[in-house]
Structure 1
């Protein structure tokens, strides 16, 4: 009985020590660092962490939030495998064609502002500000006088023309049809006039404060509409031959990878940007519902056909080490598997793939390294050891 108990205790200690020895630790920042005991990363000095192995599943399953955090985007390999993809850094900017500058049409004092801060939405017909203007009082009195004269001499076309001219002046100085009708009804000039918005937009600039005197033509507000935006991207002058006006681009906004946009190049700036060797290309992008705002970063993919029957992927999509090169494929939404490929020469557009990919494969073009790190953390091994060959 004692012997059996002693053996059982000895076996339990052996199993515990074996389980402890089977633990593997890695660095969250450098997943290639693997140790069988706790310690610090020899590269960055961070504490090593224990990872959970899940070797039963060949790939990785990520939910929507994880995909958004990893900033994962994909592209499909087209039939014929003659696709070249170049990723450019881009950004969203306001479309000047949808920008409205509001200036003061008369000299006066801003008595009240109904819009007080930038970023505030403005609807067409909404009151913007109230101005006290002696010039407007003079125009109103001229209109009232012309109204009375036209009423007294209805047969005289001269008075009718004077009334029409006086009315047109009020319209040109910012008076609405409703304000003019009210002036006719009350027959009394009003020095405090409210100006209404002629367009819908968002306040981008506010250049005036309450109580401030303004001259005729002084800038007051700038309104921007975001129904459509400009996408601007940078390219090197040596790459200009690969992009032409009217060429189609694919745009992805980080966080909205499931809503890629197809746009066409509308303008290529022929001058280099100041202090750089970069040119700028531009395209107009629809913005349904105004979900995107100027200033957001954008990934601009230039897809073109190559003369050679090869595939060119962005450099970030191809992971290389001493064992070779691999990419990540999206087998279904949120499920990713590594694939061994044979990488060729690196071009300006990216890395040439000689073999390993087939038409219809959907390749991860951004976020591949984060998938690699997650794989090592969960499975404790290099994806190259389990990746399939195409």
Structure 2
């Protein structure tokens, strides 16, 4: 038993010695490799300096071909002079420096060389270099993304505004009937809403004590004037005539017609009630009086509206307002007669917005002899707007709306794209939008996959502001960040102490 325990300890000790010897051997290989790498680092050929990057993620830079760890796309070789900021030369020959820029802060720009606020040398930016907001993507990647462009050109823009409208009353043709005296309604001739009335038609009979007294005064003034008309004193005759005129005027102010006054003069008898006649033709749209009720002076009794001519108020949304003008022709389709179209002119556009619908009312006037158009009826409206001649236009889907502004991407050639801020105008039915500023005729704008270009441009700008370009980093720093440290894999272990070995052989 004791001999077997000693054999086991000897086997464990031999295995430990073999493992330590292997570690020392690998450590020696590591040091040799580092020494060889250091000895030949300055003698690398130009091909060894070629770096590889991802067309979609330019901050991924490696010293050898491979696959992008983000999108799994094949890395492509970088052009000479390409930095991580995305600016690349686009022309050969003599180059002119446009300005000097801080490598860590693209917004720090100077007209001459110097130091940045972080103590780094300013780098030149040439006139033939893509602007800092632009990006460059490999042509193969551009094709895979499905990037399509369209040339900015001039064209005529037209739009047909389709909306809903509401038939309403012609406001100047609405009238109110009221009593100018206090009294009681003895008889009501028009006793229902919707009743057609004509001008001069009797509406109601009113009994008023004041009216009876006014008739008596007029009859007395009439008799007195007749008796004194032959008086030798001219002043007395003139005074009686003025009193008669004042009594007549009082009756007329209470809506007593000349015909009724003539009948009063001929009969010489006071009438208990006075008949009120309609001064307008139309339809009774509101009736507030009933037979037998007491009415006060100035109280509204009836409303009469003339619907021989009506309005149609069309709802125009805010973005359609630039297209709609006074005088344009509008077609109105009625729900009950879809095959029939009425044509009218826009006579007025209201200067305020409806808070409930966020629309502006456009008034269209129509004659309505047969009363086919009835107030509060809905109608479908089509407004043929005037065309904008020779407008600089691009497809609507080429514009990116960020809330702060509008941006398009312009293709500069050779896979380079530049974002441009634009100001847009009206848009037509064909999907084109007017460009007021920011583009020129002949520019090629991106009409598909521009959202990917926008995200790439913003990502590159953020990377450019956060980290220095790789060419500005100290030698060896990039490899220390991107290459695994071999020291972590092959750390040298200290040799075991003599006491530990003695314990194994006890």
Indicate whether the TM-score tops 0.5. yes
Q: For 1:138, what is the secondary structure of its paired residue?
A: helix
**Counterpart in the other structure of 1:219:** 300
Q: For 1:273, what is the secondary structure of its paired residue?
A: coil
**Counterpart in the other structure of 2:275:** 194
Q: CA 1:348/1:172 → structure 2, altered by over 3 Å: closer, same or farther?
A: farther
Q: CA 1:349/1:228 → structure 2, altered by over 3 Å: closer, same or farther?
A: farther
- C-alpha distance in structure 1 between counterparts of 2:183 and 2:296, whole Å: 7
Bigger RCO of structures 1 and 2 (CA < 8 A, at least 6 apart): 1
Whether the aligned pair in 1 keeps the contact of 2:165 and 2:379 (CA below 8 Å) is yes
Number of residue pairs aligned between Structure 1 and Structure 2: 238
Q: Offset at 1:257?
A: 4.7
2:258 paired with 1:183: no
TM-score with structure 1 setting the length: 0.56
Q: Offset at 1:218?
A: 0.2
**Counterpart in the other structure of 2:221:** 146
Residue 262 (structure 1) aligned to one of 343, 361, 376: 343
Q: CA 1:266/1:134 → structure 2, altered by over 3 Å: closer, same or farther?
A: same
- C-alpha distance in structure 2 between counterparts of 1:301 and 1:266, whole Å: 15
How far does the alpha carbon of each residue in 1:338-358 deviate from its partner, in whole angstroms, 9 at most, with x for none?
xxxxxxxxx9765669xxxxx
Whether the aligned pair in 2 keeps the contact of 1:205 and 1:223 (CA below 8 Å) is yes
2:355 paired with 1:274: yes
Q: Offset at 1:158?
A: 2.2
How far does the alpha carbon of each residue in 1:101-141 deviate from its partner, in whole angstroms, 9 at most, with x for none?
00111100111111111101111221111111011111111
How far does the alpha carbon of each residue in 1:10-31 deviate from its partner, in whole angstroms, 9 at most, with x for none?
xxxxxxxxxxxxxxxxxxxxxx
CA RMSD of aligned residues (A): 2.6
Residue 89 (structure 1) aligned to one of 160, 164, 171: 164
Q: CA 1:352/1:168 → structure 2, altered by over 3 Å: closer, same or farther?
A: same
Q: CA 1:276/1:82 → structure 2, altered by over 3 Å: closer, same or farther?
A: closer
Q: Offset at 1:309?
A: 9.2
- C-alpha distance in structure 2 between counterparts of 1:253 and 1:158, whole Å: 66
Q: For 1:130, what is the secondary structure of its paired residue?
A: strand
2:195 paired with 1:114: no
2:186 paired with 1:105: no
Q: For 2:313, what is the secondary structure of its paired residue?
A: strand
Q: For 1:179, what is the secondary structure of its paired residue?
A: helix
Q: CA 1:245/1:145 → structure 2, altered by over 3 Å: closer, same or farther?
A: same
How far does the alpha carbon of each residue in 1:226-276 deviate from its partner, in whole angstroms, 9 at most, with x for none?
111011011112211111233332223233455533322222222221333
Q: Offset at 1:83?
A: 5.4
- C-alpha distance in structure 2 between counterparts of 1:160 and 1:257, whole Å: 67
Q: CA 1:348/1:165 → structure 2, altered by over 3 Å: closer, same or farther?
A: farther
- C-alpha distance in structure 2 between counterparts of 1:87 and 1:264, whole Å: 15
Q: CA 1:137/1:349 → structure 2, altered by over 3 Å: closer, same or farther?
A: farther
Equivalences for 1:1-390 in 2 at 5 Å? 84-154=159-229, 156-257=237-338, 259-307=340-388, 350=429
- C-alpha distance in structure 2 between counterparts of 1:86 and 1:263, whole Å: 15
Q: For 2:265, what is the secondary structure of its paired residue?
A: helix
- C-alpha distance in structure 2 between counterparts of 1:219 and 1:268, whole Å: 31
- C-alpha distance in structure 1 between counterparts of 2:256 and 2:341, whole Å: 44
Whether the aligned pair in 1 keeps the contact of 2:330 and 2:346 (CA below 8 Å) is yes
- C-alpha distance in structure 2 between counterparts of 1:285 and 1:218, whole Å: 33
Structure 2: give runs of 5+ residues left out of the alignment: 1-155, 231-236, 392-425, 433-506
- C-alpha distance in structure 2 between counterparts of 1:230 and 1:270, whole Å: 17
Q: For 1:195, what is the secondary structure of its paired residue?
A: strand
Q: For 2:263, what is the secondary structure of its paired residue?
A: helix
How far does the alpha carbon of each residue in 1:271-296 deviate from its partner, in whole angstroms, 9 at most, with x for none?
22133321211122211232221111
| Higher-Rg member (1/2) | 2
Q: Offset at 1:308?
A: 6.9
Q: For 1:88, what is the secondary structure of its paired residue?
A: strand
